[in-house]
Amino acid sequence: MFVFIPVLLLWDHPIKFSLLYRSNNQLSGTVMIRDFVGISPTIGESSYIDDSAVVIGDVVIGNNCSVWPLTAIRGDVNIIRIGNNTNIQDGSVLHVSTVNPPITEGAELHVGDEVTVGHKVLLHGCRVGNQCLIGMGSIVMDDAVIEDQVMLGAGSLVPPRKRLESGFLYLGNPAKKIRPLTDSEKTDLVTAAAHYVLLKQRYWIEASYAAVHCLC
């Protein structure tokens, strides 16, 4: 038989559950959003979380964000805050450092608005400003600060406590300032984020069709 679920109910829901065909005729929503020590993640309006991603604990994700397959966002020993219109791409890991006073205050993780985090990026207890691009496979370590409008090239390493100045391209291990961004590149930072806002809408449409016409 067919199970009909109103598309608008799914479209307006802040967490997009993938609804899959199953050989055992069961309809399954498998998004892994978990409490930790009684604290639940908060997912903003119209944000998309892929069903293979994991979001745990004290995590706040803003509006119109997207979290793609096999990503882990783990706010267990400190907080994670992600702004609006930001995308966290496939296989990325976002984590934090332990709060253990008086030895350490730990390191929170903050990611700004309109940020593109490429495939398999590691962000650990750092701060990323608005309209940044973190290239594929890059690592950003504890207490590092990436200011607004920075482009970090693929495979770069940003060491602990290093600050990357706004408006520049950085690249390497350790990351070094290469040159100022062109006006076109600054526009590209916004365009990249906007592309992923549109792309997650397409995923919503695909999953909505599956929900309306799911054979159980």
Domain locations in the chain as residue ranges: 2-215
Rounded distance between C-alpha atoms, residue 214 and residue 199, angstroms = 22
Q: List the structure tokens of 189.
A: 């930072």
Rounded distance between C-alpha atoms, residue 123 and residue 57, angstroms = 16
State the pLDDT at residue 3.
35
R_g of the chain, CA atoms, integer Å:
18
Task: Please identify every stretch of the chain with a pLDDT value under 70, giving residue numbers as ranges.
Answer: 1-31, 102-103, 211-216
| Chain centre distance of CA 83 | 9
Which residues are paired to 127 by β-bridges? 110, 145
| Chain centre distance of CA 105 | 24
State the pLDDT at residue 214.
57
State the pLDDT at residue 103.
65
State the pLDDT at residue 99.
79
Burial 49-74 (b: 16+ CB within 10 A, else e): bbbebbbbbbbebbbbbbbbeebbbb
The percent helix, strand, coil of the chain (3-state, each to 5) is 15, 35, 50
State the pLDDT at residue 31.
54
State the pLDDT at residue 20.
31
CA-based nearest residue to 90, from 207, 208, 200: 200
State the pLDDT at residue 209.
73
**168-171 and 176-180 beta bridge pairing:** antiparallel
CATH code for the part of the protein at 2-215: 2.160.10.10
CB atoms within 10 A of CB 76: 17
